[in-house]
Structure 1
């Protein structure tokens, strides 16, 4: 079932994630530009709010996907087809129940919409049927659980994430083009959402066709169903994963809800233009770490702890490089990008861009730690810790939004992350994943040093870009983004070049560079 090495699969997955995500990012900005010019600020605020509400409803998934993927690693490594079939059939059944649960929860949310939107009655005077629009968003979310969505799991678990990436990016680009044409010719919000629903269904069907062709045996009926003990084990993992997912969703999906309740949809619209940076980078991180997590899970089953630890450190350094570059890029270029793209009235003054960049950096570290924890099957350890983060985030969001506005909501999320995930997850990994073979102190010392290097480089970049290439529109943005994109990775590699993990990364890049040159 595997035709490439773990490293090759990871590299293919990684490259497909980076390259295609850049194209999708450009398409998203084009769609957003046309959306704002044709539909306006109110619909933009509704789009952000409803997306966040339905992210909360997606908690019904309970982490089933991650739990099932972890269970698939071992039978795939042993080519145990009967067990794979049993797990896939179980996954299919659970996803159907999830789709129904999300639909029911969504319908129950409709009566509460007036309490979640400040000046709710104003939307009716603008001709916006808020309940109907919410139902369309609900159908879009439910569609992501139905229509054969579960079949992509076998491709992911088999370390072929790049196939999923290519398909999803092609569908996204075509969907974006169709939405742009529709917004220009027929600027009706409901049609815009209906197009999204259609393409969610199309994408799931394509995933199913590809999975059926690659692994035709998955369509056989299971000889034996998963036993009660295993179902109970999956349920226990799902309960623990639910708490992690609950924290992750609350950290971001409540932001627009809090802003809508206290400040109104206009502020949600302003925030959502910056938030597109966050979601784009979040998707990129998710694709990157999904692309390597299946290889990491496969490696974990081999019990080669020294190699696993080396790759963990290398992954941490790569995470810091990508996350640090995104951090400084948003800090330096974020406001300038919004100003050139939409105009001065859409800009949120500093330190908002700095805080958003810091949140993106935190997201990168949290995503990497979470993926490692999942591939090691560490679902039960510290499962109540996410509840602490959720409570901290909600309390500080409500307190700080009153005195600091949008910046207070972002800062509350950072406080919640840094007081829970950022220090506790590494302890869990070292204690239970690496069995205390290595000192977690090394991890904290390294990451404090990484952060200081990034911070100093960012401050230098900020003042440097205030002197170079000003008032040139998009040219200035490319110049300043290029400065950040070069200086941050170079600074980290220069200061860390003697480390084993840095040499490992450079060695892999050199090896595959030589391979591709030879092929050429």
Structure 2
């Protein structure tokens, strides 16, 4: 059942995300060309500001979700209902807190965006307030779908409304060039999607009821203890994800912020696609951990190493694809005038590699809880990110801010390693570190070898992307196959893939 649901989640996620990625490229280009860099910058900066405000969530969703996995495995309907009710009321309180933070944060807009007109900045800001608050008051039912590996049901609904949103934005950009209307259509479609999910929730989970909860319930379950520590994680993750845009807007202006936004827009869409694939496994990881409710046995360790290798293979491919295709794609999509230096692209690829390479390890870390054990790594990550961003930007521009992000990301990764190998994979950290050194060597070979072959392609524009894409699909995967293809971790992945294939054949024949 886990395998089947993982496959369904992945299939729906990949199919929908690919189409939305293409629509996103169209809407981004129309936003920049039809509304200008100031509107684009205001949108980017305000979005990242609200990411900062989201620390008011205190990580309540993550804390309750890893407890919910435990109760779903035990099939305890009473506690599932209680956790979901607590989740709903917690998010209502979070929504009110974010509304207050939004009022206080409005004063910072002129300082962060000095070259954006105040009226423009505050209008985009007000629209984001409405959008964010609607999400916090309506989104809570999605948690149950995620924890039961039925996220594909939400993906179906989201896909329809996201396509509608993109088409409406394209129409507004071309025929009714009004940025207020442009951002408003996203709010309306998002609210409608959440209302449809809420209606379906009552049919899919009839045993989940609203129950009365009190402040004492939160205390008795120890959630405040977890939230106190998880707040550090939440803050650090927020700084990591938002600092580049805000630092660039403050120190580089709207043109550089828009340049950065073009690159991050592509990577965000691609990351969303990758996350949908990885998230299909994440819920299964939660179920594996809490079904055992103890340290990993031999089979569980085999699963871990197989998933970790999968993360590396995915991360090395993504980094190589960005390194070899990003500039060519950007030139064909936006034009030569919108390119950032190749040094920026290299650092960007390293940051993507760090994230994807430990993605599965991060999923294990998330479901294990005990957030106090790596809180100081998270503090160090946030502090280094901010300090280095402001120190390096004057000399290296956007690339300097991104270097700071890579360093902070590595510190965050180190903390996750400590927790996973202390609480679940005891005695295996040495092997993990040796494998990471080998991964770095093979990553360098993938980047260098693929780059040299791609540079030999003389064709420019969209036609030139086709042979380069073929090279990117073949070379890094072939190199990784030579290095890792016959090890025990790869054997597990082959066995897992063979089992999936057999199930698909059996289902087709039936």
User: Could you state the TM-score of these two structures normalised by the residue count of structure 2?
Assistant: 0.94
Q: CA deviation at 1:487?
A: 2.0
User: What is the deviation of 1:118?
Assistant: 2.6
Cα distance, 1:408 vs. partner? 0.4
Question: C-alpha separation between the residues in 1 aligned to 2:353 and 2:219?
Answer: 37
Could you tell me which residue of structure 2 aligns to residue 34 of structure 1? Answer: 30
Q: How far is 1:423 from its partner?
A: 2.8
Q: 2:287 aligns with which of 294, 298, 301?
A: 298
Q: CA deviation at 1:190?
A: 0.7
How far is the alpha carbon of 1:223 from its aligned partner? 7.1
Indicate conservation of the 8 Å contact 1:328/1:357, yes or no: yes
Matches within 5 A, 1:393-432: 393-418=385-410, 420-432=411-423
State whether structure 2 residue 75 is matched by structure 1 residue 79.
yes
Give the Å deviation of 1:88.
Answer: 0.8
* Displacement of 1:291: 2.0
TM-aligned CA deviation for residue 401 of structure 1:
0.4
Give 1:509's aligned residue. Answer: 497
Matched, 1:168 2:158: yes
Contact 2:28 2:265 in 1 (8 A): no
Given that residues 42 and 120 in structure 2 are in contact (C-alpha distance below 8 angstroms), is that contact kept between their aligned partners in structure 1? no
Equivalent positions of 1:303-314 (< 5 A) are 303=292, 305-314=297-306
Distance 1:260 1:43 in 2: 12
Distance verdict in 2 for CA 1:229–1:341, change over 3 Å: closer
Distance apart, 1:453 and its partner CA: 0.9
Residue 138 to residue 478, structure 1, CA distance change in 2 (3 Å):
farther
How many Å separate the matches in 2 of 1:394 and 1:366?
Answer: 23
Contact 2:99 2:129 in 1 (8 A): yes
Which blocks of at least 5 consecutive residues in structure 1 are unaligned?
none
Q: Could you tell me how far apart the structure 1 residues matched to 2:438 and 2:367 are?
A: 27
Aligned pair 1:67/2:63, yes or no?
yes
Aligned runs of 1:24-423 on 2, under 5 Å?
24-120=20-116, 123=117, 128-147=119-138, 149-218=139-208, 220-222=209-211, 228=217, 231=220, 233-303=222-292, 305-418=297-410, 420-423=411-414
Q: Does the CA-based 8 Å contact 1:103-1:142 persist in structure 2?
A: yes
8 A Cα contact 1:16 1:165, kept in partner:
yes
RMSD (Å), alpha carbons: 1.9
Which structure dedicates a bigger proportion of its chain to helix?
A: 2
* Structure 2 unaligned residues grouped into runs of 5+: none
| Contact 1:86 1:226 survives alignment (8 Å) | no
**How far off is 1:462 after superposition?**
0.9
Paired with 1:98 and 1:478, the residues of 2 have a C-alpha distance of 47
Check the 8 A contact 2:374/2:418 in 1, yes or no: no
| Aligned-pair CA distance for 1:167 | 2.4
Correspondence 1:16-31 to 2 at 5 A: 16-31=12-27
Q: Distance in 2 between matches of 1:374 and 1:421?
A: 13
Distance 2:188 2:33 in 1: 24
Cα distance in structure 2, aligned partners of 1:286 and 1:101: 28
Deviation at 1:442, TM superposition (A): 0.7
How many residue pairs end up in the alignment? 505
How does the TM-score come out when normalised to structure 1? 0.93
